[in-house]
DNA sequence: TCCTCTTACGCAACCGATTGCATAAAAAAT
DNA sequence: ATTTTTTATGCAATCGGTTGCGTAAGAGGA
């Protein structure tokens, strides 16, 4: 096992001081070109790698960014992470990823770990059941940038990155109405999460605009897991209102639902039109193909990375620019179309 | 911004030495219960968090594990990562995730970064075009556990975690043959990657067992990206061998292919049977549903995490137990079925 | 040639925790 | 009461870089 070589080794071999080696390696202006070259040449020759922990310790910054996501195994999350990882990596940061597994308790633990790992910044997409936010105060107290994305909570001086879920919900609903649906139902997750409640707001707004009645019973709360498909189908069958349009807050759930409904004898879109959310790849593969709202996960990740980095570099004042809203887009496919 | 408090602060306030504080906090046996309690109480009172970098620097270990994956936005990858993250996290480790984006150059960079981040161990799933492996030698030289998973390369003393791709390929092919296919084609990625070449080996073995002829032209190499669907369809139309069975090394690709073929007038499974690989959620959603090989990403992640941790803790001698092979399972769905 | 101003580098403190070794205090043994 | 053993703590070096400050050597000017 080769001993890892340090600036002291280099210094000794080159007959200079460790300080000079350090400065050379960091391209400090007060070192002559000649010396720099000698040092760098030797460093390469010996395969010198700086010890990040020593560097972090003295520089008091870690070049790591932490992120807490609910779960990573969805297309949306993983493409968002892909975008974040790529962006922060190019800026020289490492990304520590942790999952709350949709549990506030785990989220607290993760936050504590990341805090004690001295991340330079932290990104958070909230767990399903998170209802208090004190676990983020250490970051705020220590002025560590905290950015919420997608599943957000507004805390003063914390940036948030979202799409306009209300508007997207309105557009989706409006589309269903234009396709002739009269009796709509919204299927979403925990309304404490902005993504679900805001979409329902849009759903309501579209109703009001079209002089349709709407009340809380139009919000069918579900954990959007595959196991709940059966309950939803049962609900649709048993309800006295004859539902002819469904706005589902998740494409994968919508896709499974379509499959189940078709097997259960429903005709989609003839009997029942369905629109999803996210533009997950499955929406193109299911039959009928699923109309949806395109929700740019990767771009969101890139933007999140960029904004957190510019925050770290101090090049943007986030006290001012506090909320970034990304574009979204209605995508019409077969599951909401009349003709054919 | 509260100054972060250190063991020196605690030491001063409690009139003990920093060493005592450190030992108390680490539950060192040679500290009296009374002192420990005093220290811990004070630490909690002031919200003391140990500075990991200082600790890492002196302990020479970081409690982080690095992983390089080709891309993280596939269901398989993200569930594998979910499994790894959960496991190593429970063991007190952080996970630094980086993507090679299927490029060897990026993989080299990532390896260098992780090395200089002093990860305690590294997990790797190789990029599409990785053809040399010197970028891993620093880890080996420094005795840092290196575990390959899924897309592996055999290096002495490095553990690998795989499924039996050859056997899985044989089973998939055998199934097609049993369903009456006479003219098979295998669509896979770069044969430098074990996952693709081994499946083809199984494909060949099944042919030989059934006294079918097979040669290299039965391997259609593709990058398995969506853009290549058109080329594949063209190939199927133009080839003089009338293909009636397709073994595709990726479910998502197979799903898109089914969609394209059906649109192009093919009947699946009547004209052409298709079997995929991975048991991606999409395989149940596409019409016809896709037969496939179940490939347990999450479990693979858990196992990878466990084995790397036991390696770090020294509880398993990996010089002996070098390759772990996971179970896989043939899953038969509509895309390969005759009746109906 | 002597003086001033740069330039290039060395010195040493510092970041915050860990840990081997020494030792004072307390407990046990004689 | 004295010595030995045990227990609990302190001291100080160490991990590997970074950085403010001081200064010798070299460049430039008079």
Superfamily of A64-159+306-312 according to CATH = Response regulator (3.40.50.2300)
Q: Enumerate the β-bridge partners of residue A246.
A: A185, A274
Element (H, E) at B68: strand B64-69
B155: three-class secondary structure by DSSP: coil
Looking at residue B321, its pLDDT comes to: 57
Q: How far is CA A34 from CA A10, A24, A27, A28, A321, in A?
A: 15, 10, 12, 13, 45
Task: Please give the angle made by the CA atoms of B300, A257 and A196, to the nearest 5 degrees.
Answer: 85
Looking at residue B1, its pLDDT comes to: 40
Per-block mean pLDDT, blocks of 10 residues, chain A (340 long)? 78 91 90 90 86 84 89 87 89 86 92 84 95 92 88 89 96 96 96 96 97 95 94 91 94 95 92 95 93 94 91 63 88 87
Looking at residue B56, its pLDDT comes to: 84
- What's the CATH number for B62-164+297-328? 3.40.50.2300
Checking each nucleotide's C1' against the CA of B116, the nearest proves to be: D16
Task: Please give the angle made by the CA atoms of A98, A73 and A328, to the nearest 5 degrees.
Answer: 100
The C-alpha of A97 sits at a distance from chain B's nearest C-alpha, in angstroms, of 6
Most A-contacting residue of B4, B72, B95 (CB-CB within 10 A), to test interface:
B72
Task: Please give the angle made by the CA atoms of A15, A20 and A21, to the nearest 5 degrees.
Answer: 80
- What's the CATH number for B7-50? 1.10.260.40
Q: How far is residue B184's CA from residue B289's CA, in Å, rounded to a whole number? A: 19
Looking at residue B220, its pLDDT comes to: 96
Indicate the pLDDT class of residue B310, thresholds 50, 70 and 90.
confident
Q: Do A72 and B89 touch (CB under 8 A)?
A: no
Looking at residue B68, its pLDDT comes to: 96
Looking at residue A3, its pLDDT comes to: 65
Looking at residue B54, its pLDDT comes to: 87
Q: Which residues lie below 8 Å from residue A253, measured CB to CB, with a gap of 6+?
A: A187, A222, A224, A225, A226, A228, A229, A276
* pLDDT tens-digit series, residues B124-170: 999 999 999 999 988 887 778 899 999 999 988 888 999 999 999 99
Beta strands B329-331 and A184-188, pairing class: unpaired
Q: How far is residue A278's CA from residue A329's CA, in Å, rounded to a whole number? A: 10
Looking at residue B164, its pLDDT comes to: 96
The C-alpha of A191 sits at a distance from chain B's nearest C-alpha, in angstroms, of 25
* Protein-contacted positions of strand C (CB under 7 Å): 7-12, 14-20
Looking at residue B113, its pLDDT comes to: 83
Domain ranges for chain B: 7-50, 62-164+297-328, 165-295+330-336
Percent of chain B with pLDDT over 70: 96
pLDDT surpassing 60 at residue B317? no
Q: How far is residue B289's CA from residue A195's CA, in Å, rounded to a whole number? A: 31
Average pLDDT, integer, range B226-244: 92
Mean pLDDT of chain B: 90
Phi, psi of B84 (to 5 degrees): -65, -50
pLDDT surpassing 50 at residue B75? yes
Q: Do B113 and A99 touch (CB under 8 A)?
A: no
Element (H, E) at B69: strand B64-69
Contact of B33 with B40, CB cutoff 8 Å: no
Taking alpha carbons only, the member of A72, A49, A66, A40 closest to residue A3 is A49
Q: Do domains B7-50 and B165-295+330-336 have the same CATH topology?
A: no
Q: Do A98 and B96 touch (CB under 8 A)?
A: no
Looking at residue B3, its pLDDT comes to: 65
- What's the CATH number for A165-296+330-336? 3.40.50.2300
pLDDT surpassing 50 at residue B174? yes
CATH class name, domain B165-295+330-336: alpha beta
Residues in reach of strand C, judged by a CB distance below 7 angstroms, are A 15-20, 30-35, 54, 57-58, 60; B 4, 6-8, 18-19, 22-23, 25-26, 48-51, 54-55, 57-59
Burial of B183 (0-12, 13-18, 19+ CB in 10 A): middle
* Residues across chain B: 340
Q: Which stretches within B103-250 are classed as H helix? A: 104-116, 137-141, 165-178, 194-209, 229-238
Which is higher by pLDDT, B174 or A60?
Answer: B174
């Amino acid at each position: 096992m080769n001993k890892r070589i340090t600036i002291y080794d280099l210094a000794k071999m080159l007959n200079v001081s460790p300080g000079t080696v350090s400065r050379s390696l960091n391209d400090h202006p007060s070192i002559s070109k000649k010396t720099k070259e000698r040092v760098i040449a030797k460093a390469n020759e010996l395969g010198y790698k700086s010890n990040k922990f020593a560097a972090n310790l003295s520089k008091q910054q870690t070049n790591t960014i932490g992120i807490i996501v609910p779960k990573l195994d969805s297309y949306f999350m993983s493409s968002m992470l892909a975008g974040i990882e790529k962006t922060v990596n190019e800026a020289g940061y490492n990304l520590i990823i942790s999952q709350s597994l949709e549990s506030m308790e785990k989220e607290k633990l993760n936050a504590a770990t990341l805090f004690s790992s001295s991340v330079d910044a932290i990104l958070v997409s909230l767990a399903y059941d998170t209802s208090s936010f004190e676990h983020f105060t250490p970051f705020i107290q220590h002025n560590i940038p905290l950015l919420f994305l997608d599943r957000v909570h507004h805390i003063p001086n914390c940036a948030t990155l979202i799409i306009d879920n209300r508007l997207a919900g309105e557009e989706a609903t409006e589309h269903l109405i234009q396709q002739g649906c009269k009796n709509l139902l919204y299927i979403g997750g925990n309304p404490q999460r902005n993504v679900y409640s805001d979409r329902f707001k849009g759903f309501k707004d579209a109703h009001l605009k079209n002089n349709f009645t709407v009340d809380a019973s139009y919000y069918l709360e579900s954990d959007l897991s595959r196991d709940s498909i059966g309950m939803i189908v049962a609900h649709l069958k048993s309800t006295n209102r004859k539902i002819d349009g469904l706005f589902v807050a998740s494409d994968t759930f919508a896709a499974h639902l379509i499959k189940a409904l078709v097997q259960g004898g429903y005709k989609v879109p003839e009997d029942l039109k369905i629109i999803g959310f996210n533009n997950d790849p499955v929406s193109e593969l299911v039959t009928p193909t699923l109309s949806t709202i395109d929700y740019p996960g990767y771009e969101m990740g890139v933007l999140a990375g960029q904004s957190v980095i510019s925050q770290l570099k101090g090049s943007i004042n986030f006290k001012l620019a506090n909320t970034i809203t990304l574009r979204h887009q209605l995508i019409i496919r077969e599951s909401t179309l009349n003709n054919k």
